[in-house]
Amino acid sequence: MLESFQYLYIINFIDVFEILIFSFVIYYFSLWLKQDSQKKLLSSFYLIFSTIFVTQFFQMNVLHNFLIYFFPAIIMLFILVHQKVLQKNFISLLKITPEKQSLTDWLEILMRSSLIAMNNKKQIIGVIEGKDSLSTFLTSSFTMNTPINKDVLEVIFNSPSYDQNKMIWISQNGFLNAINSDWNIKNHDLWISKEIQGFENWKQDAILLTSKIDALIFKTNPTKQNFDIIIFGKIIDNVLPNNAVQIIQQFVRKNNLDLKKGSNEINFKTTSTSNQPLA
């Protein structure tokens, strides 16, 4: 046992304390990397450290010294390669924990109210908050923070103060946080790829933001009686109301939701085979 400590150059309690500090930092940095499920950042990070320890154990001095001396450069290269994924983790430092839902049918109420508004030739753009707080990304002229119900939505959609070119902001636990909301982003043209520069402004903003934060954005189409949904930076056009309900439900529950990479198709398990609009 003593020989092992000597091999690791552990001499006194100060060394043990320093090891605990580094272990604490590495542990929480690993937890942060683990949050992203799309790319295996954690395994890449462990591979770098494993290589350092293996070269030390087998006394591969040249390679070990190279890794130690160039470790900051390796970390910087790691950050550059995965900058988009790391930006997604950094951009929303404030996480929210859903409160207990007080209305189990808030999504059905929202869909029915949206259909009524569409029948009245009114457009609705909504953003549904996921685990990332949108408070730093949205500015709203009317803050509400009230549970969604039929009467509230009817009053809002029929109010002359309601701007149908702006968004309603909804939490994933069924609360209407605000109306007439805009994205609080400026001069982001350089971030947008040439592929989406021809889209409407609301689609450009939605694609940009949903690729970085956990949110779903939908827009009603009064002429077609259907929905456009943007999630994970992808557009799903002309979604029937029943299917829109399924997609939003599974986004909120984080259950059985699978967007194919490089495609605008979304796979989800439905509880009904009907494609008819909600009554």
Distance CA 179, CA 173 (A): 17
Give the three-state DSSP class for 237.
strand
- Mean pLDDT for 173-179 is 91
Domain ranges across the chain: 2-91, 106-267
pLDDT of 62 strictly over 90: no
**5 vs 202, more confident:** 202
**176 vs 188, more confident:** 176
Give the pLDDT score at 245.
Answer: 87
**235 vs 2, more confident:** 235
pLDDT of 191 strictly over 60: no
The chain-wide mean pLDDT, for the chain, equals: 76
Determine contact, residues 196/209, Cβ cutoff 8 Å. Answer: no
What the block records as the tokens of 97 is: 């924990």
What the block records as the tokens of 155 is: 């009053």
Give the pLDDT score at 187.
Answer: 44
Distance CA 41, CA 78 (A): 9
| Confidence band of 278 (pLDDT split at 50, 70, 90) | very low
Distance CA 204, CA 188 (A): 10
Give the pLDDT score at 178.
Answer: 93
Which of 4-13, 109-118, 199-208, 257-266 has the least mean pLDDT?
Answer: 257-266
For residue 87, how far is the Cα from the chain centroid?
A: 11
Position of tokens 């109010």?
Answer: 159
pLDDT (tens digit per residue) in 222-273: 999 999 999 988 899 999 988 998 888 888 877 445 444 334 445 544 333 3
Distance CA 95, CA 194 (A): 31
Find, among 104, 157, 88, 105, the residue nearest to 126 by Cα.
157
Q: Which residues pair with 139 in a beta bridge?
A: 182
Give the pLDDT score at 117.
Answer: 93
| Confidence band of 15 (pLDDT split at 50, 70, 90) | confident
Give the pLDDT score at 116.
Answer: 93
Give the pLDDT score at 64.
Answer: 81
The full DSSP string for 112-181 is HHHHHHHHTT---EEEEE-SB--TTTEEEEEEEEEE--HHHHHHHHT-TT--TTSEEEE-TTSEEEEEEE
pTM: 0.59
Distance CA 206, CA 43 (A): 31
pLDDT (tens digit per residue) in 72-125: 787 777 667 666 656 655 555 555 554 544 445 788 899 999 999 999 999 999
pLDDT of 194 strictly over 70: no
Is the CATH number 3.50.50.60 carried by domain 106-267?
A: no
pLDDT (tens digit per residue) in 82-94: 666 566 555 555 5
